[in-house]
Amino acid sequence: MKRLLSYFYPITKKIPSDVNGVLEITWYNGRKILNSQNANYSYGSLQRILKYALNKIDVSGVQNVLLLGLGGGSVIRTLRENFNYKLKITAVEIDKSIIEIAAKEFNVCACENLAIIYGDAFNYVANFELGSTNKFDLLIIDLFIDNKVPDKFFSPEFWERIESLVAPGGFVIFNASTHSDITSKVMQLIDPLKKTFQFQILDHVEGTNTLVIGHVVK
Ligand SMILES: C[S@@+](CC[C@H](N)C(=O)[O-])C[C@H]1O[C@@H](n2cnc3c(N)ncnc32)[C@H](O)[C@@H]1O
């Protein structure tokens, strides 16, 4: 019923979260989306933005995905449905309310090759026990509080760890900003990493976002 009515007017439910402020689940034109106060978090433009990035890489060889920032899990749906990726995904999320929303509203829960870790992605990456066989072929870094990526995810410390977690031949997709005025910050970030990665910078994706794609050449 809500789906049908949403073609005539959007139907919104508000859910307070300690980490992300007031979140909104909105039925709009027959689809359910998750928004923060100033940004789409999942299943709207955000989903299209990450799909655009996934289309720029070769997903066929990917066997192990690390997703930092679960949100409502829309990129997981994209990987499963549009890229036929059925293998392992580990998702890290700092907000308990979001993990509940992903399960209750979007049917995204820890099952079928999906592990959901509650915690800070920065600490997860810093403390990850790296062996010779548990590196990731694809890391998706999609960490926002409302419309801002916390500064620590631009730090050399974080990126040195990311560099060590990517398998040879693997990819990193970093959703770096919802604004287009961060070129110098991105350039500063990628410069020391150029010996490991070949980079593509995608600007104005969906008219707004800046994405960084890094590929580790074997
Ligand atoms: C844009 S949403 C992610 C959308 C998701 N990737 C999708 O495909 O639907 C950003 C998420 O990053 C999470 N986040 C922000 N800071 C974090 C941190 N330090 N550690 C883990 N998750 C964090 C937020 O709680 C929010 O759920």
Per-residue pLDDT of the chain (218 residues; tens, 9 = 90+): 677 777 777 778 999 999 999 999 999 888 999 999 999 999 999 999 999 999 999 999 999 999 999 999 999 999 999 999 999 999 999 999 999 999 999 999 888 799 999 999 999 999 999 987 899 999 999 999 999 999 999 999 999 999 999 999 999 999 998 776 778 889 999 999 999 999 999 999 999 899 999 999 87
- Structure confidence at residue 28 (pLDDT): 86
User: Domain 45-216 - what CATH class?
Assistant: alpha beta
Q: Is any atom of ligand 1 closer than 6 Å to the C-beta of 98? A: yes
Q: Which residues does 191 contact at the CB level (< 8 Å), separation at least 6?
A: none
- Structure confidence at residue 134 (pLDDT): 92
- Structure confidence at residue 154 (pLDDT): 96
CA 180 – ligand 1 centroid, Å? 20
CA 68 – ligand 1 centroid, Å? 7
- Structure confidence at residue 184 (pLDDT): 86
CA 8 – ligand 1 centroid, Å? 30
CA 143 – ligand 1 centroid, Å? 4
User: Ligand 1, from 15, 98, 143: best to mutate by most atoms within 8 Å of Cβ?
Assistant: 143
The CA distance from 103 to 73, in Å, is 9
What pTM was computed for the model? Answer: 0.96
Q: What residue ranges do the domains of the chain occupy?
A: 45-216
